[in-house]
Amino acid sequence: MNFLSTFVTFENLHEVRRLCHWGPIIALSVIAICSTMAVLDSIIWYWPLDTTGGSINFIMLLNWTVLILYNYFNAMFVGPGYIPLGWKPENQQETQYLQYCRVCQGYKAPRSHHCRKCNRCVMKMDHHCPWINNCCGHLNHAYFTSFLLLAPLGCSHAAIIFIMTMYTQLYERISFGWSTVKIDMSAVRQFQPLMPFSVPAFAATLFALGLALGTTIAVGMLFFIQMKVILRNKTSIESWIEEKAKDRIQHYQTGEDFIFPYDLGSRWLNFKQVFTWSGAPKGDGLEWIVHPKCHQHTLTIEQLKQKADKRVRSVQYRAVEDYNGACCPVSKGLQTFFRTPCTEEPRIPLRKGDTILATRGTKWWMYGDKALSEEQIRAGERVRGWFPRRCVEKCHYDTAASDSTSDKKVN
């Protein structure tokens, strides 16, 4: 009963509508296909239940499925945690360091950002994930990352089952076209399969193998990306803020030594901020443990500086390569292909020489607005989306020409 109460509560039953979206439908379909085919292949053709190894294998397959679904549904239904509507800090003087959200009619707490999809200010927002149809943030970051770990492990186990099933069932039919030599693997077969391994069974197994291998690679890459930010105790949004902070300091030669406030100096300490024995992350999502040389509003003050500085608010880039707007462009490198943003936001095609105003980004992708002609602007057109970072280069500025902008910084 306690297990069910942690899995589904009355407060989040209305969240079931999140399942009615292409992301969860595809994700759950992949889990169902891989799990079902792995169980059927192992029981019918590869490893029957009347053997010790077969029983252990069956239990492991069920264990992977349960753990994957548990963390997946918790990541979806527990949610990231939202800033209360109309929230204000207890100390009213702190409002000068915080941004005001007109939609939520309240102030944004440190590390929180407003999500246009969820239409709420999210605690420690990392990104909005279409696969769970929810944001990844403070409360569900551990569940989401655990799912990213377990899914490749379970799919790897399933892929081994698929490969061994086809290996053992097709060995009598494998022969070289230029000779009569056949691969003799009769020693592998130790039992009579419950039914013949037909062409439809082979096609289904091969299809499930493709899904399992694809999931292992794609989700495995996402896991390493998430672990990288967790060990630094930052989010993808905060990584972009930090990058713009260093750009601002370098451009204006302010002599500041920017220290990311939430990096506690130890990977283990940063890890324990997200993963705890109780399952609940440390902190209430409103106040955070910070570096000794920083305070609660170090990063929010930096955001206000960047917001006041037009040059830093949107960094100008120029396209140096053409880009056709593909979601996963193979021609732009493997890192760009595998680290494509997991978001429903569009990609924007680029032609060499285009100007783009980037507002955020990752190591391999950037997000911003393409500079349009005056006619397009008057017509109300707007081209905004993601594009590969390798396709653009940062425009250089004349420091003397931007002195007037420097005066607008927030002290």
Provide the annotated active-site residues. Answer: 129
**What does the block give as tokens for 280?**
């609940």
- Computed on alpha carbons and rounded to an integer, the radius of gyration of the chain in Å comes to 26
* CA 136 centroid distance within chain: 8
End-to-end alpha carbon distance in the chain: 54
Q: What are phi and psi of 29, to 5 degrees?
A: -65, -40
Q: Tell me which amino acid residue 147 is.
A: F
How many Å apart are CA 26 and CA 112, to the nearest integer?
Answer: 29
Strand order in the sheet with 315-319: 384-388, 365-370, 355-361, 315-319, 392-394
- List, in sequence order, every beta strand (DSSP E) within 250-292: none
Of 146, 80, 139, which Cα lies nearest the Cα of 113? 80
How many Å apart are CA 150 and CA 143, to the nearest integer?
Answer: 10
Three-state SS at 309: coil
**What does the block give as tokens for 44?**
């019918």
How many Å apart are CA 189 and CA 169, to the nearest integer?
Answer: 8
Cα–Cα distances (Å) from 282 to 39, 274, 277, 287, 289, in that order, read: 38, 7, 11, 10, 9
Q: Tell me which amino acid residue 334 is.
A: L
How many Å apart are CA 235 and CA 229, to the nearest integer?
Answer: 6
How many Å apart are CA 132 and CA 24, to the nearest integer?
Answer: 6
Transcribe 318-376 into DSSP letters. Answer: EE-S-B---SS-GGG-HHHHHT---SSSPB--B-TT-EEEEEEE-SSEEEEEE---HHH
How many Å apart are CA 180 and CA 306, to the nearest integer?
Answer: 73
